[in-house]
A and B are shown apart, each in its own frame.
Chain A
Amino acid sequence: GQQVMQIPQYQHVQEGEDFTTYCNSSTTLSNIQWYKQRPGGHPVFLIQLVKSGEVKKQKRLTFQFGEAKKNSSLHITATQTTDVGTYFCAGPSGGSYIPTFGRGTSLIVHP
């Protein structure tokens, strides 16, 4: 079955440093979605990428979808303590519309 891997599992950064999490799928994805979950909270939808090679920005967050539509990345520039949380990628493949979620990358920002 489809597998979606995220690395790293955890990342500690000093406030102001950059952060990147990577998402890799064993199969081609029809789209990729990114979510953020604050500690003790619920996942919140951030963005969806659909096109091969697509890049989208939301303020300090940059999302990329790979040319082969099997990988994606989320980059945060100059992290802030409000960026703390777990970032999940999710994507459907094989004709299904149901996305498979990665296990997430937990970001810890030290002030």
Chain B
Amino acid sequence: NAGVTQTPKFQVLKTGQSMTLQCAQDMNHNSMYWYRQDPGMGLRLIYYSASEGTTDKGEVPNGYNVSRLNKREFSLRLESAAPSQTSVYFCASSETGSGGYTFGSGTRLTVV
């Protein structure tokens, strides 16, 4: 099993450009999440989806949108990238309300 697959692994954007980070899981988990990780800040939740068809804001949602395309896929969109969005982005999935999270390998995004 692949677990949680994220694409792309690396991306450089110019300020104002848009892009979508893709995430897919093959563990039949109901819940999916997007986190960003900045040095010394730990993991901060951007958005999450408790089940197919639902999405909710996390701690730092400004500047992002998400789509839960189906049970397997949860994408994160930056409509107009800003240098403050330079970060490592992790997608994760879990059974809702139980067990640990399975993380993808991350997307390293630089906005110049």
* A interface with B by C-beta (< 8 Å): 9, 33, 35, 41-48, 88, 90, 97-98, 101-104
CB closest residue in chain B, given A99: B101
CB closest residue in chain B, given A101: B43
Contact B42 A104 (CB under 8 A): yes
Q: How many residues of B contact A (CB 8 A)?
A: 21
B-side binding surface: helix, strand, loop or mixed?
A: strand
Contact A43 B96 (CB under 8 A): no
A98 to B47, CA, bound (A): 11
Contact B48 A33 (CB under 8 A): no
Contact B90 A42 (CB under 8 A): yes
Contact B48 A43 (CB under 8 A): no
Give 11 A-B contacts (CB < 8 Å), ordered by A residue.
A35-B101, A41-B105, A43-B101, A43-B103, A45-B100, A48-B99, A88-B42, A88-B43, A90-B43, A103-B41, A104-B42
State which of A35, A43, A48, A98 has its C-beta within 8 Å of the C-beta of B58: A98
Contact B41 A33 (CB under 8 A): no
CB distance from A86 to the nearest CB of B (A): 9
Contacts A97-B97, A98-B58 known; A44 to B103 CB distance under 8 Å?
yes
Contact B42 A101 (CB under 8 A): yes
Q: Which residues of the partner chain B approach A33 to less than 8 Å between Cβ atoms?
A: 100-101
Q: Which residues of the partner chain A approach B105 to less than 8 Å between Cβ atoms?
A: 41-42
CB distance from A64 to the nearest CB of B (A): 17
